[in-house]
Amino acid sequence: MKISDFQDLMKTLYFHRDSKRGIKSTFAWLVEEIGELAKIIKKDEDISRYKKHASEELADIIAWSNSLANLLNIDVEEALLDKYPNKCIKCNSNPCRCEKG
Amino acid sequence: MKISDFQDLMKTLYFHRDSKRGIKSTFAWLVEEIGELAKIIKKDEDISRYKKHASEELADIIAWSNSLANLLNIDVEEALLDKYPNKCIKCNSNPCRCEKG
C-alpha cells in the first residue's frame, strides 16, 4: 500500500471527526497512543510476548499522525521524502554514518 | 512510495544505530519528536506559519515509529492494514460512524 493511499484512507474514515475535534485534541489522542506503547515496552518481557500488542499501538501512532497531517494539510509522503531522501540528511550517507544518536 | 519501502529505507539507513541504541532508548527518541511537535502546535498561530516545521516533526515521528517497528520485527504495512482494514474496526463503517472520540 502506498503511503498516500493510507493517508487518503485516514481522511475518508476519520476526517469528519478529526476536523470536529481539532488539531490540539487530535494531538492529545496521538500522545495517548504513545502512552499505550510506553506501557508495553517499559516492561522487560520478551518481545514475542508483546509484539502483537505493540504492533497495534504503532499502527495507532502512525494513524493519528496521518490524521494530524490531514488537519494540517500536510502530504505525509512528501514530508517523509523531504526529510529522508534515501540518505541521512545530516551525514549525507546511506547507511547513516553520523557519530551520535 | 510504498509503506514497506519506507520501512526498508529506515532499516537500511538506521538499523545499525537503532539496534545498538535498543528499544527503550529508541522509544525515547520517538517521544522527543512528540515533544517537538507539541511545541509547535501548542501555539495559537495560523497553521500556514508552522506547517513546514510541523511536517518535519510528523515525518520524524513516523520515521522513529518505523525504527521501533524494525527493532520489534513488526511489518508496519501489515500492522496498519490489520488495524485499519478500509473500515473502522469499531463501527465497521467507512466513513467511521462511532459516536465518540
The reported pLDDT for the residue numbered A37 is 97
Query: Is the pLDDT score of B8 beyond 80?
Result: yes
Query: Is the pLDDT score of B57 beyond 70?
Result: yes
Of B13, B27, B96, Cβ closest to residue A95: B13
Pick from B40, B100, B12, B32: nearest CA to A14: B100
A56, B1: Cβ pair inside 8 Å? no
B61 φ, ψ (degrees, to nearest 5):
-60, -45
B51: closest CA of chain A, how far (Å): 7
What is this model's ipTM?
A: 0.96
- A89 CB-contact burial (10 Å; exposed 0-12 / middle 13-18 / buried 19+): exposed
Structure confidence by residue, pLDDT tens digits, A4-57: 999 999 999 999 999 999 999 999 999 999 999 999 999 878 888 899 999 999
Question: The pTM is what?
Answer: 0.96
Say how many C-beta atoms besides its own lie within 10 A of residue B46's C-beta.
Answer: 8
Say how many C-beta atoms besides its own lie within 10 A of residue B22's C-beta.
Answer: 11
Q: Give me the mean pLDDT over the B31-45 stretch.
A: 93
A77 contacts on B by Cβ (under 8 Å): 1
- Is residue A86 left, alpha or beta, with left meaning phi > 0 and alpha meaning psi from -120 to 50? left
Q: Give me the mean pLDDT over the B42-59 stretch.
A: 91
Contact A36, B54 (CB under 8 A): no
> Confidence band (pLDDT; 50, 70, 90) for B101?
low
Higher pLDDT, A94 or A45: A94
Q: Which amino acid is at B77?
A: E
**Is A74 an interface residue toward B (CB < 8 Å)?**
yes
- Is residue B46 left, alpha or beta, with left meaning phi > 0 and alpha meaning psi from -120 to 50? beta
A79, B73: Cβ pair inside 8 Å? no
Higher pLDDT, A45 or A71: A71
